[in-house]
Amino acid sequence: MHQNLARSALTLALTLIPAASAAQGGTPVRAPMLGSWLYGTLSSIDYYDRTTNRWMDASGASEIVTFFADGRYERTRLLSLTTYSCTSKLFIYEKGTVKIEGDKITYRPSEGVNKGYTCTPSNSWETKKINPETWTFGFERNDAGQDVMVMRGKESELHYGRYRR
Q: Domain of 97?
A: 2-162
User: What is the average pLDDT score of the chain?
Assistant: 84
pTM here is 0.77
Q: What's the domain count of the chain?
A: 1
Query: What is the predicted pLDDT for the residue at 56?
Result: 67
Categorize the per-residue pLDDT at 164 as very low, low, confident or very high, splitting at 50, 70 and 90.
Answer: confident
Tell me the Cα Rg of the chain: 17
Looking at the DSSP assignment, which residues form a beta bridge with residue 36? Answer: 66
**pLDDT (tens digit per residue) in 114-143:** 999 999 899 999 999 999 999 999 999 999
102 Rama class: left (phi>0) / alpha (psi -120 to 50) / beta: left
Please, are residues 65 and 149 in contact by the beta-carbon 8 Å criterion? no
